[in-house]
Structure 1
Amino acid sequence: MTEAAQFTFQGKIVCDSFAEFALHRAQRLDLEIEMGACDAGAATVSVKGQGDLVDAFEMACSLGPYDCIIMDIVRIAA
């Protein structure tokens, strides 16, 4: 079943690293992705694909990349 979600990852964000990481993970999980706003405190990402793979994307981005610290995630069904 296809699911769409918008995530706001909050914490210490290095935008270039986070965007590269998120794009790579989405590609590996066969998800459609759209990068939104990003600054030093938050990054917004919208993804669409198989529901369990959307969940896997959320988990992966909560753990990396190495130079970002994710403190909180807001998930909204899109």
Structure 2
Amino acid sequence: MTHEHARFVFKGTFRPASFVEFARHRAERLGLDLQFGQTSAEAVALKVSGATELVDAFEMACSLGPFDCFVFDVVRHDVDVAA
């Protein structure tokens, strides 16, 4: 497996504390490193790193989100840490 670093901005309608807890739980279960940026009722920004396949799985899980949040769009930026 290859290691990947990615930044995500999830956009939609959020209860920020709920989404943050959901994302933390998913990252922990997938063995990913997770750092949060700005969070609001309209967007949640975060950075995640780990195995590429698991980063992809994290994106999919968070796109579905917790039951009390609705994700309408995801912006993903893969980060090249070697540069």
The alignment partner of 1:4 has SS state of strand
Aligned with 2:41: secondary structure?
Answer: coil
Q: Which has the larger radius of gyration?
A: 2
The alpha carbon displacement at 1:13 in A equals 1.0
| Aligned position for 1:20 | 21
Report SS of the residue matched to 1:65.
coil
Separation of aligned partners in 1, 2:20 and 2:60? 15
Stretches of 4+ aligned residues off by more than 4 angstroms: none
Aligned twin of 1:44: 45
Following the alignment from structure 2 to structure 1, what is the Cα–Cα distance between the partners of residues 76 and 65? 17
Query: What percentage of aligned pairs have identical amino acids?
Result: 50
Aligned partner of 1:32 in structure 2 is: 33
| TM-score scaled by length of structure 2 | 0.92
Task: State the aligned residue count.
Answer: 78
Who is 1:9 aligned against?
10
> What are the superposed Cα offsets for residues 11-70 of structure 1, whole Å, 9 maximum, x if unpaired?
001110000000000000000000110001000010000000000000000001110000
Distance 1:38 1:57 in 2: 18
Across the aligned residues of Structure 1 and Structure 2, the Cα RMSD in angstroms comes to: 0.5
Unaligned runs of 5+ in 2: none
